[in-house]
Structure 1
């Protein structure tokens, strides 16, 4: 089968409802006027899918939503952003996963999450065919894909790898099963791309070098550790490269890590080396931080390329 998609994102699919600036919950039944409310397609699969589509990649999302109004809204938003949503699983037994984020004046974002259909994603033949025949596959949400983490997901990634796909992987909210799930999929992962803090928590390490070594010993061919305002670290081909963050006025960091993953894939799709792709990913996450929500600030590939080439590094 020919490769139908450039980029297939599989995993957590969430509707985010964000508000800013929120410094307190009004007492009793009172109302507080805030500056802005947005809804976005989010999660470690849906977030990258939106950014990938904006960058011109032929992108599909493999995720699960409920057969409810939130699912309808989320699907519509994905389609409006150019994402192929035909592979979404629509479940009747659970609602669409959703998060309410209260973005504080200092950028902190305490949130309230309702677990939904996303964690019960199952793969049928059509979804598997799309994944294993894509140029780039992003496996987002290891440890929270309850039907895939025990081995079925690894089998799909093995086939995708054998077909020549470049596989990136991320996870979120480390839990008791995260490490076991990671060990199954990492042998097929080209670039493992977690946040440094979460990666250290799961590996029980205390620094970036030991953390990267831990996951590469577990099978990942390369490791990219995202470290917020400190930038990111690329461990590949026996070397280590630090990519600084860029100077922007930060409003909200929701989804910056997911956007980074999509920017990296878009850079690789241009034929760039991993370091340049990381620089483009950094520009992507910087743009997202300038607005509210996981897709804020990003318009198209050229605009982000201009940011990459012209913005000053943070340090």
Structure 2
């Protein structure tokens, strides 16, 4: 696995690059953007369900300031799975870069996933975010988000209606996460509901990232939809039991054991 992004020419950027390599993620496509600092985010923890985030990304962040000549477009086109986020659409230049990436993905046989990771303080307003999501939805295979993010994308808050609206806009698989209630996943001919895991939440940060990682694993392995969502939900619950975020992500062996026993190995 690898990531296409930018970091600043600073200690935080060098730390990010080292950590990616240590955790087994290629940093070959991480670009150092000298004009901007690596962004910092602070989080408050109010378990079980409130984890406010404070982003420091002004005047901009390196990941939103990549030039077209700094992206390996062959890697974009070759990727078996290409995951991108709504945040990457929030600036004009980065939005244009993502549209070009989707041009390359149109020539790919891989799966393209949009993470509806909507952070309101990074946008001028919901209307702008919804407009840009509308421009890309028909070009992605999978869309995943929580109820609020899906409402931002399609203007529907009801989970069933939101999933249907995403499918109507061209998505092949719509996933609506509903926190402690569970997760709904729908395709044109299949509906899956998975209850949330009953855990004592320590820190909810990173749960969505773990969900996404397990979702990708299930797609790569060719699992059926129910098993994929069950494991993705379990991965999110697993991370919620830890104070850490990236370093709390389960290995395949740890996740299998957790699914079988409900106990962190």
Query: Which TM-score tier does this pair reach, normalised by the shorter chain?
Result: 0.7 to 0.9
Which residue matches 2:45?
103
Could you tell me the TM-score, scaled by structure 1's length?
A: 0.74
CA contact 2:150–2:157 (8 Å) conserved in 1: no
- Are the structure 2 counterparts of residues 85 and 251 from structure 1 closer, same or farther at C-alpha, using a change threshold of 3 Å? same
Report the 3-state secondary structure (helix = DSSP H, G, I; strand = E; otherwise coil) of the residue aligned with 1:262. helix
Q: Deviations over 1:172-227 (max 9, x none)?
A: 21444222221222222111011112211343223012211222222211200111
Counterpart among 81, 93, 97 of residue 147 in structure 1: 93
Which residue matches 2:123?
none
Query: How many Å separate the matches in 1 of 2:36 and 2:49?
Result: 32
Query: How many Å separate the matches in 2 of 1:212 and 1:219?
Result: 11
CA contact 1:289–1:296 (8 Å) conserved in 2: no
Which residue matches 1:163?
108
Query: How many Å separate the matches in 2 of 1:62 and 1:177?
Result: 24
Which residue matches 1:86?
28
- Which residues in structure 2 correspond to 1:258-273 (within 5 Å)? 258-273=209-224
CA contact 1:248–1:290 (8 Å) conserved in 2: yes
- Which residues in structure 2 correspond to 1:31-46 (within 5 Å)? none
Gaps of 5+ in 1: 1-58
Q: Is residue 2:264 matched to residue 1:306?
A: no
Query: How many Å separate the matches in 1 of 2:191 and 2:29?
Result: 37
Which residue matches 2:19?
77
Which residue matches 2:156?
205
Larger helix fraction of residues:
2
CA contact 1:194–1:225 (8 Å) conserved in 2: yes
CA contact 1:260–1:281 (8 Å) conserved in 2: yes
Deviation of residue 161 (structure 1)? 4.2
Deviating more after overlay: 79-88 vs 267-276: 267-276
State the Cα RMSD in Å. Answer: 2.1
Question: Larger RCO: Structure 1 or Structure 2 (Cα < 8 Å, ≥ 6 residues apart)?
Answer: 1
Deviating more after overlay: 72-81 vs 195-204: 195-204
Report the 3-state secondary structure (helix = DSSP H, G, I; strand = E; otherwise coil) of the residue aligned with 1:157. helix
Deviating more after overlay: 263-272 vs 126-135: 126-135
Q: Is residue 2:120 matched to residue 1:182?
A: no
- Are the structure 2 counterparts of residues 158 and 222 from structure 1 closer, same or farther at C-alpha, using a change threshold of 3 Å? farther
CA contact 1:288–1:296 (8 Å) conserved in 2: no
CA contact 2:47–2:203 (8 Å) conserved in 1: no
Report the 3-state secondary structure (helix = DSSP H, G, I; strand = E; otherwise coil) of the residue aligned with 2:114. strand
Gaps of 5+ in 2: 121-125
Deviating more after overlay: 152-161 vs 182-191: 152-161
CA contact 1:103–1:110 (8 Å) conserved in 2: yes
How many corresponding residue pairs?
A: 253
Query: How many Å separate the matches in 2 of 1:292 and 1:146?
Result: 35
Query: How many Å separate the matches in 2 of 1:186 and 1:282?
Result: 24
Which residue matches 1:245?
196
Larger strand fraction of residues:
1
Which residue matches 1:22?
none
Deviation of residue 299 (structure 1)? 3.5
Which residue matches 1:25?
none
